[in-house]
Amino acid sequence: MKIKTPIQSAEFREAAKVFERGGPLAPTCGARTRNGGTCTNPPIKEGKGRCLSHCGPKAANAFRERQKRRFEAGQITAEEWNRAEARRAANRLGDAWKKDPWVPGRTIDLKEHEEAFVGALGGIDVAELAPAVADWLRWKYQRLQIDTRNDVSWMDVRLSKLPARIESAGQRTEATSVKATEDQGMQGLWRPSRGSFDALSRRSLPDQPRAPKPVRQGAVVRAGRPRIRPVCADEQQDLLDLYRDHAAALRPIMKMTTGEAKQWAVLRVLRAYLDEPQNTSAHQRWLALVQATLVPPMRATGTG
């Protein structure tokens, strides 16, 4: 079909949305994930149907080259390019830290919070920590003390997780201390440059406070409704007729029921039951009422 009119074109665009990212027919990576699911990231062009995380190094490099060309051609912003480069560098550093936590480098700058962070460590010298541990700790601080305020989790990090990390990082390795002095620039490893950190975090907004818990809308908690509705003239007549028809049964109940409003309420409960005898809750209410008014409390019947 050829698209001839603007309306057709708009309809086509609307229909094509199902194939766009997030749409029901959008292509997904589909790689098996560690938790047993399938990856739902969008595939990259170079990845033979796989996403950037699952396409392998060759396709990922080709992706970077294309991104670079697009940046140079002005098709993506410098900010987007820098963010992608910072992410790649941080990933490389993370890989290096898996082999040696003493490899110099960092992926986060707490900026004006750094001083408070150092103060919150209670005597631990952050400069003496393995760079991987210090970096992990700064991210934890950012997450638990700046983005959100979770003192309990932060204490857990400080008192239990941090000692374990320090322990497993071990002593400063020979290789890294030599390398660090020889090669101050740490070529090949990403060094933080000012301004790159804002772009690094995927978080665009700090955590919002949680929504309040929903209030159950039961009959019991519904506020503002008077427990006993006033009786209008029509209803009064209706209920009096009902009373007359069932006077024998109602007389003892009414005797036990103090107050006119409550007596009207008793009649309403009976009416609800008689209107719908198969309605279980109406039946239950009526039975409960009869029991409450006619069966004397246990204490009164006790023989002691």
Contact 32, 53 (CB under 8 A): no
CB 103 within 8 A of CB 133: no
The two three-digit tokens of residue 269, written as one number: 């409960």
Q: How far is CA 192 from CA 16, 98, 105, in A?
A: 42, 19, 8
Please answer whether residues 94 and 87 qualify as being in contact, where contact means their C-beta atoms are separated by less than 8 angstroms: no
* CA 44 from centre of chain: 28
CA distance 76 to 85: 13
The residue (of 59 and 266) whose beta carbon lies closer to Zn ion is 59
Q: Kindly state the smallest distance separating residue 26's Cβ from Zn ion, in Å.
A: 13
Shortest separation between residue 51's beta carbon and Zn ion, angstroms: 3
Nearer to Zn ion, 29 or 231 (CB): 29
Task: Name residues contacting Zn ion, limited to 15-54 (CB under 5 A).
Answer: 29, 31, 39, 41, 51, 53-54
Backbone conformation region of residue 54, classed left if phi is above 0, alpha if psi is from -120 to 50, else beta: alpha
Please, which residue, 54 or 268, has the CB nearer to Zn ion?
Answer: 54
294-303 long-range contacts (CB < 8 A, ≥24 apart) are 294/252, 294/253, 294/256
CB burial readout 54-72, b (16+ within 10 A) else e: bbeeebbeebbeebeeebe
Instruction: Find the shortest distance in angstroms from Cβ 81 to Zn ion.
Output: 22
Nearer to Zn ion, 39 or 110 (CB): 39
**Alpha carbons 25 and 18: distance in angstroms, whole number:** 5
∠ Cα 208 210 215 (to 5°): 150
Region 215-234 residues binding Zn ion, contact defined as CB under 5 A: none
- Phi and psi for 102 in degrees, rounded to 5? -95, 0
Which of 88, 161 has the CB closer to Zn ion? 88
* Between 29 and 130, CB nearer to Zn ion: 29
CB of 80 to Zn ion, least distance (A): 20
Nearer to Zn ion, 39 or 62 (CB): 39
| Residues 44-103 contacting Zn ion, CB under 5 A | 51, 53-54
Inter-CA distances, 14 with 7, 10, 122, 127, Å: 10, 6, 58, 56
Closest distance to Zn ion from the beta carbon of 42 (Å): 9
Residue 29 vs 134, nearer CB to Zn ion: 29
Q: In what helix (H) or strand (E) does residue 71 lie, and over which residues does it extend?
A: helix 57-72
Interface residue list for Zn ion (CB under 5 A): 29, 31, 39, 41, 51, 53-54
